[in-house]
Amino acid sequence: KRIAVFISGSGSNMLKLADACEAPAFPAEIVAVMSDKPEATGLTKAAARGIKTLSFPRKAYESKQDHEAAMLDALAEIQPDFICLAGFMRLLSGDFIRAWEGRIINIHPSLLPLFPGLNTHQRAIIAGMKVAGCTVHFVTEGMDEGPVIGQAVVPVLPGDDADALATRILTVEHQLYPAALERLAAGNVWMENGKAVFPGDA
Ligand code: GRF
């Protein structure tokens, strides 16, 4: 399966997906890495691996609609089977998501439905959580509320600050995302009637 990865920053999750795709038996290949930030260091790292990269600087477009139209046009050319959002920091419009619903996934650094949005680690600590983690989910119109494909859990330790917790979670993100992508690309999870469906589900 052909995968386009959207990033806005370091792209550590994208790089782990790229590593996983290098295994011959892995059912996916990354055909493009796209970013809304031309300076995203993940673009340089992807290009160094010979992956096609494209950037769509938000300020180069009159409107969000034009910005998304440019990305949709590029996707029509590249024709990925799935889109993986990985540290992509823009909210995609309903039109964009409807065009890709069921074929676009995201990794979010919390155990959804807890802590959608930003500053998830600080919020988990303030809430007194004893566990935290990350979620890979199908992207739907609402922010961070699509059907869950997989989750990974880590302990919140005494004395943790947001950075310590973020570092611990990032480690399990890097295992969860490739595993979730393999399941999706292999057809072992799909989205139906707004739900994630797994083979063997009743
Ligand atoms: C990670 O915490 C990820 O969960 C969130 O963006 C952060 C940075 O990801 N989506 P990356 O290093 O750019 O992959």
Tokens in use for 167? 């570092």
Say which of 67, 108, 121, 174 is annotated catalytic: 108
**137 belongs to the catalytic site:** no
Longest dimension (CA), the chain: 50
What is the pLDDT, as a whole number, of residue 201? 77
Residue 54 φ/ψ, nearest 5 degrees: -140, 140
Which residues, in sequence order, are CB contacts of 13 under 8 Å at separation 6+?
A: 7, 86, 87, 107, 173, 174, 177
Q: Are 69 and 76 in contact (CB under 8 A)?
A: no
Say if residue 11 carries a ligand binding annotation: yes
> CA–CA separation, 1 vs 193, rounded Å?
23
Pick the residue whose CA is nearest to atom 3 on ligand 1.
Answer: 87
What is the pLDDT, as a whole number, of residue 8? 97
pLDDT tens figures, 1-47: 999 999 999 999 999 999 999 999 999 999 999 999 999 999 999 99
Q: Are 14 and 86 in contact (CB under 8 A)?
A: yes
Cα Rg for the chain, rounded, in angstroms? 17
* Residue among 179, 154, 139 nearest 26 (CA): 179
Ligand 1 — pocket residues by CB below 6 A?
Answer: 7, 9-14, 86-87, 107, 109, 134, 170, 173
> CA–CA separation, 34 vs 4, rounded Å?
7
Say if residue 15 carries a ligand binding annotation: no
pLDDT tens figures, 136-191: 999 999 999 999 999 999 999 999 999 999 999 999 999 999 999 999 999 999 99
- Distance between Cα 201 and ligand 1 center (Å): 30
Pick the residue whose CA is nearest to atom 13 on ligand 1.
Answer: 11
Peptide bond into 113 cis (omega under 30): yes
The ipTM of this complex is 0.93
Distance, first Cα to last Cα, the chain: 27
Pick the residue whose CA is nearest to atom 8 on ligand 1.
Answer: 87
> CA–CA separation, 27 vs 20, rounded Å?
10
Pick the residue whose CA is nearest to atom 5 on ligand 1.
Answer: 87
Say if residue 72 carries a ligand binding annotation: no
Say if residue 91 carries a ligand binding annotation: yes
